[in-house]
Chains A and B, each alone.
Chain A
Amino acid sequence: MSSIMISRIRQKQISQMIASGKRLDGRGLTDYRPIKIETGIIEKAEGSARVLMGRTEVVVGVKVELGEPFPDRPNEGVLTVNSEFVPLASPEFEAGPPSEESIELARVIDRGIRESQAIELEKLCLIPGKKVYVIFIDIYVLNHDGNLIDASALASLAALINTKIPVYVVENGEIKKTSEYMPLPMRNYPIAITFANISDKLVIDPWLEEEEIMNARLTITFDKDGRICAIQKGGQGALTPQQIIEAAYIAREKAEELRMLVVKN
Chain B
Amino acid sequence: MSGKIRLIDENGLRVDGRKPNELRPIKMEVGILSNADGSAYIEQGKSKILAAVYGPREVHPRHLALPDRALLRCRYHMAPFSVEERKSPAPSRREIELSKVIKEALEPAVFLEKFPRTSIDIFIEVLQADGGTRCAGTTVAALALADAGIPMRDLVVACAAGKVDGVLVLDLNDLEDKEGEADLPVAYMPNLGLVSLLQMDGLLTIEEFKQALNLAIEGCKQIYKLQKEALKAKYIAIKEEVETCLQS
> Which of A's residues lie within 8 Å of B, judged by CB?
100, 103-104, 106-107, 111, 114-116, 215, 218, 223, 226-241, 244-245, 248-249, 252
Chain A residues near B167 (CB-CB < 8 A)? none
B183 to chain A, nearest CB (A): 10
Asked if A245 and B195 make an inter-chain contact with CB atoms under 8 angstroms apart, the answer reads no
Within B91-140, the residues touching A (CB, 8 Å) are 93-94, 96-97, 99-101, 104, 107-108
A247 to chain B, nearest CB (A): 10
20 new A-B contacts at CB < 8 Å, known A100-B97, A238-B108, A244-B195: A100-B96, A103-B96, A107-B93, A107-B94, A107-B97, A115-B203, A116-B203, A215-B108, A229-B201, A231-B184, A233-B199, A234-B100, A234-B101, A240-B193, A241-B193, A241-B213, A245-B209, A245-B210, A248-B209, A248-B210
Asked if B107 and A236 make an inter-chain contact with CB atoms under 8 angstroms apart, the answer reads yes
Q: How many interface residues does chain B have, given as a range?
A: 20 to 34
Chain B residues near A249 (CB-CB < 8 A)? 206
Tell me the complex Cα distance, A229–B214, Å. Answer: 18
B70 to chain A, nearest CB (A): 12
B206 to chain A, nearest CB (A): 5
B207 to chain A, nearest CB (A): 10
Q: Of B100, B195, B200, B214, which is within 8 A of A100 by CB?
A: B100
Chain B residues near A240 (CB-CB < 8 A)? 193-195
Q: Of B93, B194, B203, which is within 8 A of A103 by CB?
A: B93
Chain A residues near B209 (CB-CB < 8 A)? 228, 245, 248
Q: Of B196, B198, B205, B214, which is within 8 A of A231 by CB?
A: B198
Asked if B195 and A227 make an inter-chain contact with CB atoms under 8 angstroms apart, the answer reads no
Chain B residues near A228 (CB-CB < 8 A)? 200, 203-206, 209
Chain A residues near B199 (CB-CB < 8 A)? 230-233
Query: Given A104-B97, A228-B209, A245-B210, do A238 and B201 touch, yes or no (CB 8 Å)?
Result: no
B233 at the interface (CB under 8 A from A): no
Considering only CB atoms, which chain B residue lies closest to A249 in the complex?
A: B206
Chain B residues near A115 (CB-CB < 8 A)? 201-203
Asked if B202 and A229 make an inter-chain contact with CB atoms under 8 angstroms apart, the answer reads yes
Considering only CB atoms, which chain B residue lies closest to A188 in the complex?
A: B203
Chain B residues near A106 (CB-CB < 8 A)? 93
Chain A residues near B214 (CB-CB < 8 A)? 241
Q: Of B97, B189, B204, which is within 8 A of A238 by CB?
A: B189
Query: Given A100-B96, A241-B217, do A226 and B197 touch, yes or no (CB 8 Å)?
Result: no
